[in-house]
Every structure is written in structure tokens, then in C-alpha cells.
Amino acid sequence: MMKDIVFELQDMRYLDWAVRKISPGTPGCFLKAYDEIDGKRIYYKLSNYDSYRGVFGHECINELIVSRIMDILGIPHVEYRIIYARVMIDGKELETWISASDNFRRNNEEKLAYDMFYDLQKRNNESPLEFAVRNGWEIYIYQMMCVDYLIANRDRHGSNLEVLRSIEDESIRLAPLFDQGVSLLFSTYGDEEALDKTDVMQDFLANNYIGSRSLEYNLSLIPDSADLRINVLKQEDKKYILEGIERILTQKHIEKIWEMVWKRWCHFEEICSEKKRPE
């Protein structure tokens, strides 16, 4: 029984989607809402939205797929699930998929966007990557570069990384990785011709705050000696990663997603092997 997909239609018309989040550097509008259940805050997010087309795209589905990929790799991340729900937006009822996640902040923590924290704490001429290394966050960042390459994540801007600071002792940590919906084949939703033409190995330009705009080049920023502490992705992991998605996306789309993830993983392994070869 899958615990991260709710196929039965849920009545969630009570949610308030009034606050809109426009992602810097990427087109579209991603509506967000939250709810309190048994003393816990649950955050909800829709795929792309505009007042004419309503909800479209599959960014919230990507959140679940990427969450499962990071489960396999053993990379700390926010756990996502998806819910088929009836919602009310701008006075209109819609049936759509919603991405849901739990609050990852502890009660005594406040959050700050990574780019803002960097601006407050950086040293002269220190890059955002050098800043992360100085703070002991390099493995986190290298794992992020790895998964962002695998999924072709185009939206790792400075607010899609968060610093969590304890109000009590001012200790800091980075939030688990979150907000990976603008990835995989999000821009080809409903367009099979564009899906067929997509080269899954192309170096998609990304809105990265750390490193460069090239997802592949960012892999070269990972030192040869770095222990990424990630598990190996295997062909048989496809079943877990894509289970249940056939009821949401077309089979062609699903196969293209797996082609992207698997081919990019194989290329990533080749890069790692080359780094370890003696000169």
C-alpha cells in the first residue's frame, strides 16, 4: 500500500490559496496553502497555475518522484506526498493533484533564506560555495549538486535553500532539501512532440545560486576526495520511484522520466570513476 499517494478524491475546498509564490527565474505561479492537523502544520503546493488555464503541469508530481529518488540515494530531504483533491481557487472549484509536506522546522527555530544569510555573514570575496564549505556544509551542497543534475532541477535559487537558526542557543543548520518540482520534464506536460524531441542529457540551464548555471559543470566543483555519502542507484529502483505514477502521467512520459534519471546517473558514475583514475 502506497502511503505517499492518495488517489481517492479529498474535499479540500477549505484551504486558502490566496498567497501566491512566484519562483524567481522561472515562469509561472505556484499557489501555496497550509493547515494545522493534530498540532502539526502541513504545507500544500499546487503545480503551475493561472486564472485562465487553472492548474496545469505536474510540478507537484515531480516533488514526489524526486523525494523517492532521494530516499534511494539516502540524501536528507523533505518527504513529499501527493493528494487528489477538490480545491477552491478564485471562486472556482477544481479537481487537481496537491503536493503535501510536513513542517521541517523545530519549534525553537527560525528560518532564513540561504542568500540572505550569506549576505549577512560572508567574508570578502567569498563565494556562496566557499561560504558553505567554511560553515561545514560542503557534503550537503555536493549531494544537492548530484541530485539536481540527475533530475535536471532548474530552480535552486537562493531561497530554495534555507538556514535554520535556534532561537535558544543560536546554533544553525541547513534545512533538508526541498522544492524540487521545476525539474525532470516539467516543461513538456501535455506536449508529446516536445517530449519526443527532448534530449535528456542536455545541459539544462538552471537558476542556481551556488555554483554555475550549468548542472553538469557543477559536478566538477565536487572535489575528487569528497565522500558524497550517497547510495547507488540501480535499475530495479525504477519500480519504487515510479510506482503509482502510471495512474497520473502517460506511460510515454514515465519512460522518458526514467530515461533521464538513469542516463544521467550513469554519466554521473562515469565522472566519479574518471576522477578516481590515477593520472
CATH number of the domain at 47, please: 3.30.200
The 3-state DSSP class for residue 20 equals strand
Do residues 153 and 25 make contact, with C-beta atoms less than 8 angstroms apart? no
In one letter, which amino acid is 42?
I
Q: Are residues 91 and 125 in the same domain?
A: no
Q: Are residues 140 and 77 in the same domain?
A: no
Q: Are residues 194 and 271 in the same domain?
A: yes
Of 64, 85, 102, the residue at which a domain comes to its end is 102
Of 44, 74, 102, the residue at which a domain comes to its end is 102
Of 75, 102, 129, the residue at which a domain comes to its end is 102
Measured between alpha carbons, how far is 187 from 194 in angstroms, rounded to an integer? 9
Cβ–Cβ contacts within 10 Å for residue 214, how many? 15
Q: Are residues 69 and 48 in the same domain?
A: yes
Question: Containing domain of residue 22, as a range?
Answer: 5-102
Q: Say what the pLDDT of residue 18 is.
A: 65
In one letter, which amino acid is 32?
K
- 270: domain CATH number is 1.10.1070.20
Chain centroid, CA 11 distance in Å? 26
The candidate with the shortest Cα–Cα distance to 152, out of 257, 22, 23, is 257
* Radius of gyration of the CA atoms of the chain, in A: 19
Q: Say what the pLDDT of residue 1 is.
A: 53
Q: Are residues 133 and 37 in the same domain?
A: no
Q: Are residues 61 and 118 in the same domain?
A: no
Q: Are residues 114 and 98 in the same domain?
A: no
Q: Are residues 235 and 141 in the same domain?
A: yes
Q: Are residues 50 and 34 in the same domain?
A: yes
pLDDT in tens, the chain (279 residues): 579 999 999 999 999 996 555 444 444 578 999 999 888 999 999 998 888 888 888 999 999 999 999 999 999 999 999 999 999 998 899 999 999 999 999 889 999 999 999 999 999 999 999 999 999 999 999 999 999 999 999 999 999 999 999 988 889 999 999 999 999 998 777 788 889 999 999 999 999 999 999 999 999 999 999 999 999 999 999 999 999 999 999 999 999 999 999 999 999 999 988 776 565
What is the enclosing helix (H) or strand (E) of 10?
A: strand 5-11
Total number of domains constituting the chain: 2
Measured between alpha carbons, how far is 17 from 254 in angstroms, rounded to an integer? 29
Q: Say what the pLDDT of residue 25 is.
A: 45
Q: Are residues 97 and 217 in the same domain?
A: no
Q: Are residues 123 and 87 in the same domain?
A: no
Q: Say what the pLDDT of residue 94 is.
A: 93
Q: What pTM, to 2 d.p., does this model score?
A: 0.93
Q: Are residues 122 and 20 in the same domain?
A: no
Chain centroid, CA 128 distance in Å? 20
